A and B are shown apart, each in its own frame.
Chain A
Amino acid sequence: MITRRFTRVDLTNATEDYLLKVGEEAYIIFNNVSSVPLKIATTNDTFYELHLLNSNPGTNSSVLFGRVRLFPNNTAYNNFRVSIIYRSSGGHAAFSGHEDPGFSIGSSFFVTIAWIINRKQYKNVRAISNLYGWEGYYPLYWEGSTDWGDTTTEWTSLGTIVYPAPASGEIIIRRLM
């Protein structure tokens, strides 16, 4: 019999890292926090798909000015290279940087889909987001790709997502490979 469903594990209150099997997905709910430890163990040669849906209303609040990042191994390292494109209904902008501290996945409040590759020689996160925290820009399309150029440090814990201000939402992470 062919199964068409992903097996889901709820990691909302996990206290230890859980190693997802291929075809398994984790579900995490977070409420009014600035950092969300995913509590997912990872190994070399793995590939994931991440869905993140914030439940906060859009706002122009100053505290939302800043990027949201995934810090692998629950640690910020200053050796990431990032390229970001913003596209609103009437304009565009781009940003690139090196010596960034983590994988960029969005800005302010957003909904995103991201693909996470953990390979010794190529560690990358690509994210496509819609930002809704910047009033006046709706919808603001955001696309970012971050390389972690470190081929020495092992990526063993998927990491922690950090917001510039407390946020709420849901995360689904599927291990594809």
Chain B
Amino acid sequence: MRVWAYVNEQGTLCCALLKESVPANVRAVELEVETPDDVILNNGQIRVKTEQEKIESMKQEALTELKLTVSALLAPTDYILTKITEAQALGEDIDPLLSRYANELSRRQAIRRWNASMKAAINAAGTREELQLVLEQIRSRLTFSSE
């Protein structure tokens, strides 16, 4: 999309989506971008984000999605933690609970390990395509788990 970027009187970076939306008293820079988020003000200079900066922004969004996914995977067994915590608070023996819920607790640990590996993969991604592959892994995990 084409945008017209300028800095207004308050020093705010503005990015008009229509040429007629540019105020008459400013000089705007015409840019071709994927989204208005790609335009930044850097040391007083209006410019388009570098590929690396776009990847960093996408990583932040991907981490939010990972958090949502992990939360969805853990939620069905959260009650087990509540039971164990309550038993501990009351000074009861928690071994029977640990034994009874061994499979679920083991699955939770596996989810935590998977979370750590996905987080590392997001941080290590060097291109948007690599990041996309990680996102697809994250999304497929949730789809499979709900089937």
Contacts and interface: CB of A to CB of B under 8 A. Distances in A.
B56 to A, nearest CB: 14
A153 B8 contact: yes
Nearest to A157: B21
Contact of B18 (A37, A93, A150, A152): A37
Contact of A136 (B3, B37, B139): B139
B10 A93 contact: no
A75 B17 CA distance: 6
B1 A75 contact: no
Contacts, number: 102
B142 interface: yes
B16 interface: yes
Interface residues of A, number: 36
A90 B14 contact: no
Contact of A76 (B14, B132, B135): B14
A23 to B, nearest CB: 28
A90 B21 contact: no
Contact of B139 (A37, A77, A134): A134
A88 interface: yes
Interface of A: 34-35, 37, 60, 62, 65-66, 71, 73-79, 86, 88-93, 95, 101-102, 134-137, 150, 152-153, 157, 160, 162, 164
Interface of B: 1, 3, 8-10, 12-18, 21, 35-37, 39-41, 58, 61, 64-65, 67-76, 132, 135-136, 139-140, 142-143, 146
Given A76-B36, A92-B71, A136-B143, 4 more contacts: A62-B135, A76-B14, A77-B12, A91-B74
